[in-house]
Amino acid sequence: MTVQQRIADRTARIGVIGLGYVGLPLAVEFARAGFHVVGFDVDARKVAEIAAGRSYIPDVADADLARVVSGGTLRATTDMRELSDVDVIDICVPTPLRKTRDPDLSFVVQALGATAERLRRGQLVILESTTYPGTTDEVAKPLLEAGGLRAGADFFLAFSPERVDPANASFTTRTIPKVVGGLDARSTELAAALYSQVVDQVVPVSSARVAEMVKLLENTFRAVNIGLVNEMALMCRKLDIDVWEVIDAAKTKPFGFMPFYPGPGLGGHCIPVDPYYLSWKARQSGFEARFIELAGQVNASMPAHVVERVAHALNSVKKAINGSRIHLLGVAYKANVGDVRESPALDILNLLAQRGAMLSYTDPYVPALAHAGVSLESIPQDAIPADRIDCVVICTNHSAFDYTSIVERLSLVVDTRNALAPLRRDSIFTL
């Protein structure tokens, strides 16, 4: 029986390498559809949590995970030797940046190496990790072909970018359209057939390079527009105009405008990283992505701007940052998640520490934080010692925060998210 037949009747065995915010929801979705799924991860703690039916990903409910684990359609392991027993291998590992802002494909290369050692005829390999155009052709294909099997003939290879938006209940693994591009037409066909079993809409494209570029365009679009609105916020500050009021009025236009909002900087696993993957690849081809890199510079400057706003706020009550007790409200990169990767709050924390501030924070999703030599534990909001805090900085607008209480209890607030818009008063400072 071919892999296509096994996919069609859902007897295909699926392996998912990387059980993080992309891999675990995907593995659960395949398992819920009746496929037998093996999740692979180097972290034994994740494997143990899955075996116990406990989810460490907010987008996967404990009940949903426990159901597929107890039903025998999902199990996890650290033993990569089992890759030889599956029909489909879906790679969902991180692709961070190096300190030099170059792509770090070490996790992808490690996953591909483990796959190559066990690769057999007829298997379908799909890379989901966000990366630069050409990775599937130039990195994955040679590594997988090193043992003598040929892509498109002996095994099949495709790229399908993850599009996960953590904590977004409106768009899930099933409801987000899935872009698929194979190394050849047959690989595209098989990957599309696989995802159509668990995703409402599959969007085939002509090549893996196109699929890789799709993801970078999506996130570069966001990064550039956020850079634009951040620059507008800086400009409006100089012109004594409320940028939030400007955006609210502009978004009433029913065509030709999409609202983006300023903030303390970019964070997360994609938007601060992906444009650099694109600009790096462009430089390899002799093209300078000046527009993209300028947006990156603007976004990277926002934490320093926030610190200057804190200095301005403290100056209004004749205090300096040095020696002041400053409390950050939210340190995750976005609302209602516990992910601190690339969070601008970390840069703000570091800059304030360098200027002599005494720091504390509250974040119900991040119980402890260690960054740049500063180790802190989250203080519950109702336990914040209001009489001993000189300034509060709202870095992340979690819905769990009681903003009315913040305004009532704390005398000086810098609001980087416009969370206090209905409660504005003289002691509230915005971007």
Query: Any idea where the domains of the chain sit in the sequence?
Result: 3-206, 250-430
Q: CA 193, 194, 199: angle at the middle one, nearest 5?
A: 95
> Where does 98-197 show beta strands of DSSP type E?
124-127, 156-159, 178-182
Q: Is pLDDT at 425 greater than 80 in this prediction?
A: no
> Phi and psi dihedrals of 278, rounded to 5?
-70, -45
Total H helices, total E strands in the chain: 14, 15
Give me the residues paired with residue 88 across strands. 14, 124
Catalytic residue among 92, 236, 270, 391: 270
Closest by Cα among 152, 159, 144 to 191:
159
User: Is the separation of the CB atoms in 189 and 154 below 8 Å?
Assistant: no
The pairing of beta strand 374-377 with beta strand 391-394: unpaired
Neighbour count for residue 228 (Cβ, 10 Å)? 15
250: confidence class by pLDDT, cuts 50, 70, 90: very high
pLDDT exceeds cutoff 80 at 426: no
Q: What integer pLDDT is reported at residue 379 of this predicted model?
A: 97
**pLDDT (0 to 100) of residue 119:** 98
Domain over 250-430 is classified CATH 3.40.50.11540:
no
Average pLDDT over residues 7-23: 97
Asked whether the CA dihedral 379, 336, 232, 411 is positive or negative, the reply is negative
End-to-end, the C-alpha distance of the chain in Å comes to 61
Residue 100's pLDDT is 79
pLDDT given for residue 247 in this prediction: 97
Alpha-carbon separation of residue 133 from 118, 218, 389 (angstroms): 26, 13, 49
**What CA–CA distance (Å, rounded) separates 27 from 88?**
12
Residue 270 reports pLDDT greater than 90: no
CA angle 261, 263, 265 (to 5 degrees): 125
Higher-confidence residue of 58 and 28: namely 28
DSSP three-state, residue 256: coil
C-beta neighbour count of 127 within 10 angstroms = 30
Residue 135 is predicted with a pLDDT of 97
Q: Does the fold of domain 250-430 match that of domain 3-206? A: yes
Would you state the pLDDT for residue 422?
Answer: 83
Determine whether 270 is an active site residue: yes
CATH second-level architecture of 3-206? Answer: 3-Layer(aba) Sandwich (3.40)
pTM of the predicted protein model: 0.93
